[in-house]
Amino acid sequence: MSLVLDAEALYSDLLRSLKQLLTTYPAGAEPRLVGVASGGVWLAERLQQDLGLDQAVGSLSSSMHRDDFAQRGLASSAQTKLPFDVNGAHLIVLDDVLYTGRTVRAVLNELFDYGRPASVKLAVLVDRGGRELPVAADIAVARVSLPASESLELARAADGRFSLDVQKGKG
């Protein structure tokens, strides 16, 4: 039996959850959206439009702070871009899939290289379990289990629609 996830339906649930989360911030403390490259950036960009937020979206790369840098190398396409002052900001970090927690740890280290935010929340489309570090999402739209030999990846079509694909032979 193969896993089938409707990424567009999950995105709609994420949008609803973020609308609710935004109501919990005090007036004048609107959080900034920051996506983890690359799937999280796609989510942040689309959410920014769908939520009607005027502010620019940030992006975080995990490349420079990964504990498996020697095996993975530097991803040339993924660069951190934070078009706002991180100090004192309320941030919502978005990622497509939460697995071991190592990418989240790396992007938090990257984020703190730029300053000290007032708060950071983590929102993900899918939490697939398998945590190796004590990391949890504030919002996880779906929870699934996959063997370590498989990965789950967000894809974005030319029209902006999302899909989730299970890749065999990866972990």
pLDDT in tens, 45-102: 999 999 999 999 999 998 887 676 555 555 555 799 999 999 999 999 999 999 999 9
Q: How many residues does the chain have?
A: 171
How would you classify residue 24: left for phi > 0, otherwise alpha for psi between -120 and 50, otherwise beta?
A: alpha
Q: How many CB atoms lie within 10 A of CB 126?
A: 23
**Is residue 141 a part of any domain in this protein?**
yes
**Is residue 12 a part of any domain in this protein?**
yes
As a whole number, mean pLDDT of residues 12-24 equals 97
Q: Where are the alpha helices (DSSP H) in the chain?
A: 7-22, 39-50, 69-72, 102-113
Confidence band for 170, pLDDT divided at 50, 70 and 90? low
**Is residue 130 a part of any domain in this protein?**
yes
**Is residue 95 a part of any domain in this protein?**
yes
**Is residue 37 a part of any domain in this protein?**
yes
What does DSSP assign to residue 161? Answer: -
Residue range of the domain that includes 88: 7-23+30-68+78-168
- Report yes or no on whether pTM surpasses 0.85: yes
Percent of all residues in the chain with a pLDDT value above 90, rounded to a whole number: 82
**Is residue 73 a part of any domain in this protein?**
no
| Residue-level pLDDT at 169 | 76
